[in-house]
Chain A
Amino acid sequence: KQEVTQIPAALSVPEGENLVLNCSFTDSAIYNLQWFRQDPGKGLTSLLLIQSSQREQTSGRLNASLDKSSGRSTLYIAASQPGDSATYLCAVRPSGGSNYKLTFGKGTLLTVNP
C-alpha cells in the first residue's frame, strides 16, 4: 500500500527566504506526482505535475524535482511571499492499468511572515 509522507508538517519563514518542502513515497511504481496548494477551508489548486520519466518541473518561483528510484520529491519556493502561506500537499498516482486515484500526504503548513 502506497504511503506518502511530508516533512516538515509545519514551517514558518520570514518573507524573501528560499525554502524546500519534502515529500517521500514508499512505492516507486508511480505514473506521476502532483503538488497542490490548499488555502484554509478551500479546495486544492494544482501547482505542478511531474511525470515519472521527468526529473523536474518549473512554474514561476516554484520548482519541483522527482527522484523516483529513491521515492522522493521536493518543492522549492524561491523568494517566498506572505501570499504563499497555505498548506502544500503532494500526491502520487500509481502506474499501470487504469488506476487514476491519487494518494496524498498530510501536507506541510507554510506560514510566510512579512
Chain B
Amino acid sequence: DTGVSQDPRHKITKRGQNVTFRCDPISEHNRLYWYRQTLGQGPEFLTYFQNEAQLEKSRLLSDRFSAERPKGSFSTLEIQRTEQGDSAMYLCASSLRGVGTRGDTQYFGPGTRLTVL
C-alpha cells in the first residue's frame, strides 16, 4: 500500500454513460498525476496538478475528459459519453517536491479498471 487510494477499484458502464473516478493522494503531496494504461502497454500520461492548478494536459485527454483537484487535496477524473475505447486502467499518482532522490518519486494508487460495454 503506497498511501494513494482510488475509488472505485472497478467500474462497468454502458457506452454513452458518464463516469467519475476519485483519487486521494498521500496527504502532504502537492503534485497529483493521472495516467491511463491499456492491456499490454505502459501507463500513458493524461494530466498533472500542482496543488489545485492543472498545469498540463495530454492530447489523449479529449473534450469528454475533465479533471479537477479542488483545494489541492483529492482529485476527480470524469469521462462523459463513454466509448468502448475508454476501457482501460486509470492510475493516479502523487509526489512531493523536495530535495534528495525521493522527493520526485511518484507513488501510484491501485488504479480504477473501467470497462465500457
Contacts of B50 in A (CB 8 A): 98
Q: How far is the CB of A92 from chain B (nearest CB, A)?
A: 11
Report Cα–Cα, A21/B4, bound state, in Å.
27
> A36-49 CB contact bits vs B (8 Å, 1 = yes)?
10000111111001
The count of chain B contact residues (Cβ–Cβ below 8 Å) is: 31
Report the minimal beta-carbon distance from B56 to chain A, rounded to whole angstroms: 7
A107 → chain B, closest Cβ, in Å?
Answer: 6
A31 to B95, CA, bound (A): 15
Closest to B95 in A: A100
Q: Are B43 and A51 in contact (CB under 8 A)?
A: no
Contact A43 B110 (CB under 8 A): yes
B45 touches A51 (CB 8 A): no
CA distance A84 to B35 in the complex (A): 24
Residue total for A at the interface (Cβ-Cβ under 8 A): 29
Check A106 against B40 for contact (C-beta < 8 Å): yes
Pair A101/B105 contact, Cβ less than 8 Å: no
* Contact A4 to B106, CB < 8 A, known contacts A43-B91, A44-B91: no
Complex interface residues of chain B between 41 and 62 (CB less than 8 A to chain A): 41-45, 48, 50, 55-56, 58
Instruction: Give which listed residue, A57, A105, A106, A107, contacts B101 with CB less than 8 A.
Output: A57
- Which residue of B48, B58, B106, B111 is within 8 Å of A42 (Cβ)? B111
Q: What is A's interface to B at a CB cutoff of 8 Å?
A: 4, 31-32, 34, 36, 41-46, 49-51, 54, 57, 89, 91, 93, 98-107
Question: Could you name 17 residue pairs across A and B whose Cβ atoms are closer than 8 Å?
Answer: A4-B42, A32-B104, A34-B106, A43-B91, A43-B110, A44-B91, A45-B108, A46-B107, A49-B104, A89-B43, A91-B42, A91-B43, A93-B104, A100-B31, A100-B104, A104-B44, A106-B40
